[in-house]
Amino acid sequence: MGVSCVFRWADAVGSPSLNLINDLIIKQLHGTNLGRWNALCKLYREVSLPTDAGQPNTTEGPSNKGSKVLLLLTDSLQPAKQHAMIDDAVVQTDREFESVIQKLKNLWVLRQTSHIDGHHYDLGDFTIRAGHMVVGTSNKGVIFEVEYKPSSAIHGAQALLAELIGILMPPEAQLSFAQPLRNPTPSAEMGIRTPGLIPTSQLIHHRYLLETNYGPAGITGSNYNSLHSTYQLFSLFRKDSLL
């Protein structure tokens, strides 16, 4: 797998925005639509200590804020596998893992489910995945993963990925990334990180670095893999309070 960047087009409008991206890739950039792509994300919360009535507390509230959260990702492009994150640790598991979790009703309870539905594309050295994200009935924009296939260096090709994002996204599109971006421009704003949404035009003009700190994730090895993409995606969910 090549090095990738996961991000969200926060103010995208469902199907019209996906159609805009599809037409750009196919008609203008002469890419190839490889078919449907979808992902299912589930949030399980650790069951807290029993209440005074002797029953486990599975409600959202002050007494349950400290409970652990398990995020589980199922990707249509890896149908035999799932990815899970507890706290910051990311692992790849077999599909049977969720069955085990579901049986542990005294330990984990399903709190929320989100769907990402779209397409994936081949564009020369790049692969692009784009899907409309819905949590319940709420539109949460479009999730993208752009992959540079020739390089698997974890911190390689950020400039190329940023350049592609600048081509794909409308200049005024509000983008969000897994972690705050750093502005490397030698100026009074040197080192300033943007914590929230950033327009595409500003991303390109200031040449923000698409950096992600994978230290807390416990991922070993020097080559990029699906664990890094999962960590980016779940970090984005957490930063933007999507789940």
- Structural domains of the chain, with CATH: 3-239 (2.40.320)
CA distances from 121 to 96, 145, 195, 225 (A): 29, 11, 29, 19
> What pLDDT sits at residue 202?
87
> What pLDDT sits at residue 62?
37
pLDDT per residue, tens digit, the chain (243 aa), is 899 999 999 999 988 999 999 999 999 999 999 999 999 999 999 987 555 555 555 444 433 455 789 999 999 998 889 999 998 899 999 888 888 888 887 889 999 999 999 999 999 999 999 999 999 889 999 999 999 999 999 887 888 999 999 999 999 999 999 987 777 665 545 445 555 788 999 888 878 878 888 888 888 778 999 999 999 999 999 998 887
Which residue, among 172, 168, 78, 174, has the nearest Cα to 123 in the 3D structure?
A: 168
